[in-house]
């Protein structure tokens, strides 16, 4: 699978580099062959021109007669042979078959995954389709523009995925771009637009259908008079406020998490529209904190006090962060999520990233990552889970979740004892746009900053879940996000974080069943 990480996409890019060379050498071969044949054609034409003054005169010349006979007797056979023996086409196809077997190609799932990632970005960051199609993200031009065909294929795919809400704007954009082409007025283009009218009608997007009908009729009023009736029907449906069509059937069902208040909070936090109240921010401090074993103090920034969320700046150097990326790159695989129902870990649409885990004794950097979390928190790192490095590609995200395990989960597996008392996330890269860590209930957005470390407790001192710590990875809008997760278990931590004898989770219970 390639779409879920940037390093996956790099493999696809390399594939395209090879394919491009292959096609170029095929085209070069055709050119050479064509040039040779053109030379022959030109020579014979010159010959024929000298006959222009009179065929009889020309043929009375014995040399000319001989040459004509010779040409027809053997030259033309040679030309035919040359065309017949041209293996460039077969060679190209054979080489391509080899490439298909040996190089990385995206699967259908990749195609669907990348289409969904685009609509996710559109949705989360409320991007304008026209801007997105022109390569602009939040006012900054990053990519090349999409063609009308790109937009059409995306729309068609979203249609197949039954995401009609997103289908309509992409088809609209596609038709808009087609209309701007010089061939946008040609008959074939108008046929295409008529086909899209049918899509819109089926979906119940009457206004979009009407817009297209009017456009087609304005270009070819006489040839396309059958559309007059369609126009009338559409106008009637619009006047009646008709709500039939696929678009209206798929309005989000009640109980759909993506339509919940919580999910909306999350999206607002990702966009930076919701922030902690000034009154809460006033008490936040930046300070230097002594490290347990190192000489250099931590640059600690409080991001939230209750629950405590802190970010430590410049704890990992650029070289160390890059080293971890390089080490993880060959090992990362699509991230999975554990399902309580099936007891299995599977890939899920709500978590699209790739990851790999490392024993902390792997190298000096993994050792450093473990030691620093211990130094900062004072927690016993003997029961920390293996380090989990993750990479998110474009649109990669992890929807709101708690890191601690649910109450009925058996979490004493092997060496891991107790629930996940705390989470520490190292940011191993900056992210150009999007990709923050969002806490919808706080409501806090943490910006990834290469070399920094984010830390919070998932449990109340009583050991109960702190439901306020629900958090998420916002979709990456531009760039590639690398993190390393450190999860610390409960065992032996009571010396550092004494248990409260009273249960003290009332303050967060409200967030357990938020809607
Ligand atoms: O990538 C992030 O910002 C958060 C990741 C996360 O929450 C997780 O991996 O559990
Ligand atoms: Fe998490």
Chain centroid offset of residue 17 CA? 21
- Ligand 1 centroid to residue 489 C-alpha, Å: 17
Tokens of 276: 């902690």
Q: Give residue 495's pLDDT.
A: 80
- Ligand 1 centroid to residue 423 C-alpha, Å: 9
User: Which residues have CB less than 5 Å away from ligand 2 (the ion)?
Assistant: 403
Query: Which of 21-25, 66-70, 303-307, 342-346 is least confident?
Result: 342-346
The residue written with tokens 């969904």 in the block is: 116
First CA to last CA across the chain, in angstroms?
33
Closest ligand 1 atom to Cα of 437: 3
Contacts of 193 (CB under 8 A, 6+ apart): 175, 178, 179, 212, 215, 216
Higher pLDDT, 226 or 1: 226
What is the sign of the dihedral through the CA atoms of 484, 490, 495 and 500? Answer: positive
Cα distances (angstroms) measured from residue 456 to each of 127, 261, 388, 439, 460: 32, 24, 17, 11, 11
- Ligand 1 centroid to residue 400 C-alpha, Å: 9
Ligand nearest to the CA of 337: 1
Q: Give residue 250's pLDDT.
A: 64
* Cα 64 to Cα 482: distance, rounded to the nearest angstrom: 77
The domain spans of the chain are 6-102, 108-249, 277-509
- Ligand 2 centroid to residue 42 C-alpha, Å: 72
- Ligand 2 centroid to residue 423 C-alpha, Å: 8
Chain segment 441-473, per-residue pLDDT in tens: 999 999 999 999 999 999 999 889 999 999 999
**What is the pLDDT averaged over residues 82-105?**
94
Chain segment 281-328, per-residue pLDDT in tens: 999 999 999 888 778 899 999 999 999 999 999 999 999 999 999 999
Does residue 187 surpass a pLDDT of 90? yes
What is the best residue among 485, 486, 487, 488 to mutate for testing ligand 1's pocket, by most ligand atoms within 8 Å of CB? 485
What is the best residue among 397, 440, 472, 476 to mutate for testing ligand 1's pocket, by most ligand atoms within 8 Å of CB? 472
Does residue 160 surpass a pLDDT of 90? no
Chain segment 464-510, per-residue pLDDT in tens: 999 999 999 999 998 999 999 999 998 888 888 887 778 888 888 89
Please tell me if the CB atom of residue 110 comes closer than 6 angstroms to any atom of ligand 1: no
Domain 277-509: top CATH class: mainly beta
Name the nearest CA neighbour of 441 among 280, 288, 276.
Answer: 276
Specify the DSSP element, H or E, that contains 486.
strand 481-489
Q: Give residue 175's pLDDT.
A: 95
Please tell me if the CB atom of residue 483 comes closer than 6 angstroms to any atom of ligand 1: yes
* Cα 153 to Cα 150: distance, rounded to the nearest angstrom: 5
Please tell me if the CB atom of residue 484 comes closer than 6 angstroms to any atom of ligand 1: no
DSSP β-bridge partners for residue 484? 389, 426
Does residue 205 surpass a pLDDT of 70? yes
Closest ligand 1 atom to Cα of 423: 10
* Cα 444 to Cα 311: distance, rounded to the nearest angstrom: 12
Name the nearest CA neighbour of 92 among 30, 26, 33, 31.
Answer: 26
Specify the DSSP element, H or E, that contains 434.
strand 433-434
What is the best residue among 4, 332, 390, 477 to mutate for testing ligand 1's pocket, by most ligand atoms within 8 Å of CB? 390
- Ligand 2 centroid to residue 422 C-alpha, Å: 10
Does residue 240 surpass a pLDDT of 70? yes
Q: Which residues of 496-515 are buried (b: 16+ CB within 10 A; e: fewer)?
A: ebeeeeeeebeebeebeeee
Please tell me if the CB atom of residue 473 comes closer than 6 angstroms to any atom of ligand 1: yes
* Cα 397 to Cα 474: distance, rounded to the nearest angstrom: 5
Does residue 88 surpass a pLDDT of 70? yes
Does residue 514 surpass a pLDDT of 90? no
Q: What is the DSSP string of 98-132?
A: HHHHHS----HHHHHHHHHHHHHHHHHTT--HHHH
Closest ligand 1 atom to Cα of 474: 3
Rg (CA), the chain: 32
Q: Give residue 253's pLDDT.
A: 67
The protein residue with its alpha carbon nearest to ligand 1, atom 2, reads 473
Q: Give residue 411's pLDDT.
A: 64
> CA angle at residue 82 from 79 to 86, to 5 degrees?
150
> H-type helices in 85-224, by residue range?
88-102, 108-124, 129-133, 148-160, 164-180, 187-203, 206-219
Please tell me if the CB atom of residue 485 comes closer than 6 angstroms to any atom of ligand 1: yes
What is the sign of the dihedral through the CA atoms of 189, 195, 196 and 201? Answer: positive
- Establish whether this prediction's ipTM goes over 0.85: yes
Cα distances (angstroms) measured from residue 486 to each of 228, 350, 383, 473: 65, 21, 11, 16
Topology adopted by domain 108-249: 1.25.40
Q: Give residue 412's pLDDT.
A: 65
**Cα dihedral 216/218/222/226 (nearest 10):** 40
């Amino acid at each position: 699978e390639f779409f879920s990480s940037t390093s996956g996409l790099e493999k696809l890019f390399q594939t395209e580099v090879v394919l491009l060379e292959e096609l170029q050498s095929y085209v070069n071969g055709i050119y050479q062959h064509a040039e040779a044949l053109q030379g022959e054609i030109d020579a014979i034409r010159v010959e024929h021109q000298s006959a222009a003054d009179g065929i009889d005169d020309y043929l009375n010349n014995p040399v000319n007669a001989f040459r004509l006979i010779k040409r027809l007797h053997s030259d033309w056979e040679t030309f035919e042979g040359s065309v017949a023996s041209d293996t460039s086409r077969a060679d190209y196809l054979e080489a391509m078959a080899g490439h298909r077997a040996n190089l990385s190609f995206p699967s259908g799932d990749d195609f669907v995954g990348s289409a969904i990632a685009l609509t996710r970005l559109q949705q989360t960051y409320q991007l304008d389709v026209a801007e997105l199609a022109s390569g602009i993200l939040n006012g900054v031009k990053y990519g090349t523009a999409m063609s009308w065909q790109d937009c059409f294929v995306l729309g068609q795919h979203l249609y197949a995925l039954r995401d009609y809400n997103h289908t309509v704007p992409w088809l609209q954009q596609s038709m808009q771009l087609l209309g701007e082409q010089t061939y946008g007025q040609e008959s074939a283009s108008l046929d295409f637009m008529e086909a899209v009218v049918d899509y819109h009608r089926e979906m119940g997007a009457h206004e979009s259908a009407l817009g297209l009908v009017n456009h087609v009729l304005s270009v070819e009023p006489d040839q396309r008079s059958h559309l007059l009736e369609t126009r009338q029907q559409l106008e009637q449906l619009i006047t009646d406020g008709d709500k039939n069509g696929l678009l209206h059937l798929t309005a989000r069902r009640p109980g759909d998490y993506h339509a919940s208040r919580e999910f909306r909070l999350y999206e607002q936090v990702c966009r930076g529209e919701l922030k902690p109240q000034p009154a809460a921010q006033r008490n936040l401090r930046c300070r230097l904190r002594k490290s347990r074993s190192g000489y250099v103090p931590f640059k600690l920034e409080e991001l939230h006090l209750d629950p405590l969320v802190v970010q430590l700046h410049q704890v990992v150097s650029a070289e160390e962060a890059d080293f971890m990326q390089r080490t993880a790159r060959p090992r990362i695989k699509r991230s999975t999520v554990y399902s309580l129902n099936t007891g299995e870990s599977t890939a899920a649409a709500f978590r699209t990233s790739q990851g790999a885990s490392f024993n902390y004794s792997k190298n000096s950097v993994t050792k450093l990552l473990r030691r620093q979390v211990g130094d900062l928190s004072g927690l016993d790192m003997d029961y920390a889970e293996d380090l989990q490095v993750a990479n998110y590609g474009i649109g990669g995200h992890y929807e709101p979740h708690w890191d601690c395990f649910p109450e009925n989960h058996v979490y004493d597996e092997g060496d891991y004892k107790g629930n996940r008392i705390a989470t520490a996330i190292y940011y191993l890269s900056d992210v150009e746009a999007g990709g923050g860590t969002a806490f919808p209930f706080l409501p806090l957005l943490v910006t990834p900053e290469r070399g920094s470390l984010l830390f919070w407790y998932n449990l109340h001192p009583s050991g109960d879940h702190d439901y306020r710590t629900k958090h998420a990875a916002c979709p990456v809008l531009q760039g590639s996000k690398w993190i390393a997760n450190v999860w610390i278990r409960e065992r032996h931590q009571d010396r550092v974080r004494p248990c409260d004898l009273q249960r003290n989770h009332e303050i967060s219970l409200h967030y357990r069943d938020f809607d």
